[in-house]
Amino acid sequence: MPTPLPRSKVKKNQTWNAESVFASPKAFDAEVKSLVESLVEVKKYQGHLGGNIDTFLAAMDVIEKISKRAAKVQVYATMSSAVDTGDQQGAANNGKAMSAMAQIGAATSFVDPELLSIGEAKLRQWLKDDPRMKLYEHYFNDLFRKQTHVRSAEVEEVLGMLRDPFGSVRTTVNMLANADFQFKPAHNSKGKKVELTQSTHHAILHMSDRKARQTAWENYNDKYLEHKNTLASNLTSSIKQNVFNMKARKFNSSLEATLFNGDVPVEMFHNLLGIFKKRLPLWHKYWRIRRKALGVKTLHPYDVWAPLTDKKHKVPFERAVDWISDGLAPMGDEYVSIMRKGCLQERWVDWSPNTGKRQGAFSTRVPNDTYPFILMSYTDDVGSMSTLAHELGHSMHAHFASRAQPMFYYLYPSIIAETASNFHQAMVRGHLLNTKTDKYFQIALLEEAMDNFHRYFFIMPTLARFELETHQRVEKGGALTADSMIELMADLFSEGYGGEMNLDRERVGITWGTFTTHLYIDYYSFQYAIGISAANAIAKRILNGVPNAAQDHINFLKAGSSKPPMEVYKLAGVDMTSTQPIEDAFDVLEDYVDRLEVLTGK
């Protein structure tokens, strides 16, 4: 493992194009100040939205412009702090942005209660009277769907003001894990130290050296165990906030509150977990195949990512861009051109591993005059190529949605978000499996596929089960402790491993502590599994040559949140109200497992 570079030593072409958003931190500060001062322009419409159509449209125009400016502030702050969590300027930027977002939320909180007080009849009449109002039809439909759970203007303002202090639990856990944690180095089989950081952890677990994997996995989880009580307190606070919001908005459960807000059927959550539990024997089979392929007597959790052959497949960043472009060729020249230019010229991607870089990877959601930036640590392998493809799927979604929709529709809901990303991986994987026939590269591609499915069809449903149980305990007035959460998580993984894996209960049980993003976004984890199910269904349509399937997907990307999520999926030709796409995705997984069994058995 190469030693991660200090941030100051990273080449410019490997960093995000910060200057395209704000020329300098000073310019960012000036915009934050100006943005907050401009909120007076919003407030002057409070109490006057029902006057006439022109007043309403003028107010929405002001909010649109402020929202666009705010999105740029948030993107800049998020990326600044994520690329180097030890950078105090970046941390300050993030704090300023969070404070500004909270003030904007409070300043605009009067809109929905006031529209509800105007009444549905009058707003429906406006839709008929003026073609300019057509844009707001879905907004009004959704508003009156939520009417029972919208509170008075005063209460909504207070709830808006809570955004900043409530957001501190997520900031705290990220600063703890990404800025403060210093991990003991791993050691390889020759006794040599291997530096362990958030940006190298994933790569070490993919190394062939079992001792390096073991010590990296143990040292990484041990650091979280050292702070288990702080992490438990922090996560419990987040769960209590969700329960508070549930009660404030008069829902029966936090699950219902979250899914209702996103217009997602609660049955979808329970259907997914039901299918997942039914298909667990498939995962048990995979663990057996993996143990046999690795030639080990006992499989351990740190063996889940181990390469199944000694063959190395180096995939430099530029080659990955080429292969991803080839895989997405069915989407058309314009689509591929936008993506390639973003990677190789416009610097959408901050891809060098560096000291202080936040763990994981993400893509930013952006207004139409800002690039959809990506943060990741690229390590020249098939897995990194897959992650890049995934995040580019998010970025292309943001690109199309932000250019097709106004600000209040361009932020597509989380149930939709993981579809475009997994679609990219499915397309690229399908292309390479068909064109790269070398046995060992085929195994590497299938390993990547299993890595992806393991995360989205094993880890995420397991986290969803954990979320449901912990939320229900708090809703019933129960207590959560570090040890009780560790026991719950270990029990869930034990069921998933089915006796085929050695279960280190403490280190496996702290898994909840290592997910410093997903568990702080209420019931987000299960939506990954929904996303990968829809993604494979869409990819199948395109690869099978269904007429207009590629354009259907682009229409899906452009829709943002301009329609209910299940209707947006229908634009892509997929019915996600059915359980069939989930079952079909498990069939895809089963095919990969069977193919891997054949290839590793030869």
* Tokens at 433, concatenated: 């499996």
- Any idea what DSSP says for residue 4? P
CB of 324 within 8 A of CB of 385? yes
Write out the catalytic residue numbers.
391
As a dihedral over the C-alpha atoms of residue 387, residue 389, residue 390, residue 392, rounded to 10 degrees, the angle is 120
Please state whether beta strands 349-350 and 374-375 pair in parallel, antiparallel, or not at all (unpaired). Answer: parallel
As a dihedral over the C-alpha atoms of residue 430, residue 436, residue 437, residue 439, rounded to 10 degrees, the angle is -90
Q: pLDDT band at residue 236, thresholds of 50, 70 and 90?
A: very high
pLDDT in tens, 134-145: 999 999 999 998
Q: pLDDT band at residue 264, thresholds of 50, 70 and 90?
A: very high
Residue the block writes with tokens 């439909």: 141
Taking each helix axis as running N to C, give the angle between helix 266-278 and helix 580-601, from 0 to 180 degrees, rounded to the nearest 10: 30
Cα distances (angstroms) measured from residue 324 to each of 105, 217, 266, 310, 389? 38, 30, 35, 24, 6
* Other Cβ atoms within 10 Å of 516 Cβ, number: 24
Phi, psi (rounded to 5 degrees) for 470: -65, -40
Instruction: Quote the CA–CA distance of 228 and 226 in Å, as a whole number.
Output: 6
Please state whether beta strands 362-363 and 349-350 pair in parallel, antiparallel, or not at all (unpaired). Answer: unpaired
Q: pLDDT band at residue 2, thresholds of 50, 70 and 90?
A: low
CB of 195 within 8 A of CB of 3? yes
Which of 66, 69, 95, 70 is closest to 80 using CA atoms?
95
* Other Cβ atoms within 10 Å of 348 Cβ, number: 25
pLDDT in tens, 191-225: 999 999 987 898 899 899 999 999 999 999 999 99
Phi, psi (rounded to 5 degrees) for 405: -125, 155
Question: Can you tell me the mean pLDDT for 283-298?
Answer: 97
Computed over every residue of the chain, the mean pLDDT equals 93
pLDDT of residue 399: 96
Instruction: Quote the CA–CA distance of 182 and 195 in Å, as a whole number.
Output: 10
pTM value is 0.85
Is 481 a residue whose pLDDT tops 70? Answer: yes
Q: Is 354 helix (H, G, I), strand (E, B) or coil?
A: strand
Continuous segment of H or E residues that includes residue 592 = helix 580-601
- Any idea what DSSP says for residue 177? I
Amino acid letter, 212: A
Instruction: Quote the CA–CA distance of 266 and 257 in Å, as a whole number.
Output: 10
Residue the block writes with tokens 């493992």: 1
Please state whether beta strands 374-375 and 362-363 pair in parallel, antiparallel, or not at all (unpaired). Answer: antiparallel
- Any idea what DSSP says for residue 362? E
Phi, psi (rounded to 5 degrees) for 25: -55, -30
Which of 592, 585, 600, 601 is closest to 279 using CA atoms?
585
pLDDT cut 90: percent of the chain above it: 81
Q: pLDDT band at residue 77, thresholds of 50, 70 and 90?
A: very high
Q: Which domains does the chain have, with CATH numbers?
A: 7-166 (1.20.140.70), 317-443+524-601 (no CATH)
Instruction: Quote the CA–CA distance of 574 and 567 in Å, as a whole number.
Output: 9
With DSSP H G I counted as helix, E B as strand and the rest as coil, what are the percentages for the chain, rounded to 5?
A: 70, 0, 30
Q: pLDDT band at residue 408, thresholds of 50, 70 and 90?
A: confident
- Any idea what DSSP says for residue 186? E
Instruction: Quote the CA–CA distance of 365 and 374 in Å, as a whole number.
Output: 10
Cα distances (angstroms) measured from residue 227 to each of 181, 419, 482? 10, 34, 9
More confident residue, 95 or 152: 95
- In this structure, which long-range contacts are made by residues 330-335, counting pairs with CB atoms below 8 Å and at least 24 apart in sequence? 330/427, 330/542, 330/543, 330/550, 331/427, 331/542, 331/550, 331/553, 331/554, 332/550, 335/396, 335/554
CB of 297 within 8 A of CB of 288? no
What is the total residue count of the chain?
602
CB of 173 within 8 A of CB of 512? no
- Widest Cα–Cα separation across the chain: 78
- Any idea what DSSP says for residue 5? B
pLDDT of residue 171: 83
CB of 492 within 8 A of CB of 420? no
Cα distances (angstroms) measured from residue 85 to each of 81, 178, 324, 356, 595? 5, 6, 30, 5, 41
CB of 344 within 8 A of CB of 318? yes
Cα distances (angstroms) measured from residue 394 to each of 29, 560, 567? 28, 12, 19
Strand residue runs (E) in 342-470: 349-350, 362-363, 374-375
* Tokens at 596, concatenated: 């891997």
Question: Can you tell me the mean pLDDT for 344-367?
Answer: 91
* Tokens at 61, concatenated: 């125009």
pLDDT cut 70: percent of the chain above it: 100
Tell me the H-state helices in 373-481: 382-404, 407-410, 414-435, 439-454, 460-475
Report the DSSP beta bridge partners of residue 375.
Answer: 350, 362
Spacing of C-alpha 549 from chain mean position:
25
CB of 339 within 8 A of CB of 327? no
Comparing 125-129, 257-261, 460-464, 485-489, which segment has the lowest mean pLDDT?
Answer: 257-261
Is 1 a residue whose pLDDT tops 60? Answer: no
* Tokens at 520, concatenated: 């702080």
